[in-house]
Chains A and B, each alone.
Chain A
Amino acid sequence: NAGVTQTPKFRILKIGQSMTLQCTQDMNHNYMYWYRQDPGMGLKLIYYSVGAGITDKGEVPNGYNVSRSTTEDFPLRLELAAPSQTSVYFCASSLRAITDTQYFGPGTRLTVL
């Protein structure tokens, strides 16, 4: 039982490039989330999903896209990377509603130059 896994751990992008951050959970959780954490700040919700095929925007969705084709996977795509997207990205999951504990992945540290 690996919990929530994310790849890659580190990535450097050039402005205008695109990439996909991968997130997989093996706990059969329905809810999955993407957050970003800027230095010295709390986490901000980018997108979330309440089940396969259902996604919705969080606080800061601009510049990102998501999909949820399976229960296990919730990839986050960055289109046309910008320096403002330099951050640490965390994926999380919970079994049911928000009242359940959210389990976080190890994070992806992204730098856009």
Chain B
Amino acid sequence: ELKVEQNPLFLSMQEGKNYTIYCNYSTTSDRLYWYRQDPGKSLESLFVLLSNGAVKQEGRLMASLDTKARLSTLHITAAVHDLSATYFCAVDMRSGGGADGLTFGKGTHLIIQP
């Protein structure tokens, strides 16, 4: 069974600081996804990582994928309040012999304080 674990699950940080969210998964996969969810809202796609060593950046967010370590990271640079949200990583379920869908981590609830 494919398992996806994120840490930390809760993170409170100050504006201007840097931090990294980690996403580990249990079976071999070269497809990993990051989503953002604001309270009471739907999910917004941030990054799709489709190969080992993939790195993508958008503004203050940068995501990377190491398929050998089964690890993805989401790095936040010089955080601003607008980045406060819950961040989910997700892995292609077929990696674990499953369906054509995504297995999600529990999410990292990020609060950025002035």
- Taking Cβ atoms with an 8 Å cutoff, the residues of A that contact B are 31, 33, 35, 40-45, 48, 50, 56-59, 90, 92, 97-107
Contact = CB atoms under 8 A, between A and B. Distances in A.
17 contacts: A40-B106, A42-B106, A43-B90, A45-B93, A45-B99, A48-B101, A50-B100, A57-B99, A58-B101, A59-B93, A59-B101, A90-B42, A92-B43, A101-B33, A101-B48, A102-B45, A104-B43
Of all A-B residue pairs in the complex, the 3 with the closest CB atoms, nearest first, are: A42-B104, A45-B101, A104-B43
Contacts of B41: 106-107
A84 B105 CA distance: 20
B40 to A, nearest CB: 9
Interface of B: 4, 31, 33, 41-45, 48, 50, 88, 90, 92-94, 98-107
Contact of B31 (A45, A98, A104, A106): A98
Contacts of B105: 42
Q: By CB atoms of chain A within 10 A, which of B33, B43, B50, B93 has the most? A: B43
A109 to B, nearest CB: 9
Given A42-B4, A106-B41, A59 B99 contact: yes
A78 to B, nearest CB: 19
B106 A41 contact: yes
A93 B48 CA distance: 15
Contact of A99 (B50, B90, B106): B50
Contacts of A103: 45
A98 B88 contact: no
Contact of B100 (A41, A56, A90, A104): A56
Nearest to B106: A42
Contacts of B99: 45, 48, 56-59
Contact of B104 (A44, A48, A99): A44
B42 A107 contact: yes
Given A98-B92, A99-B50, A43 B100 contact: no
B97 to A, nearest CB: 12
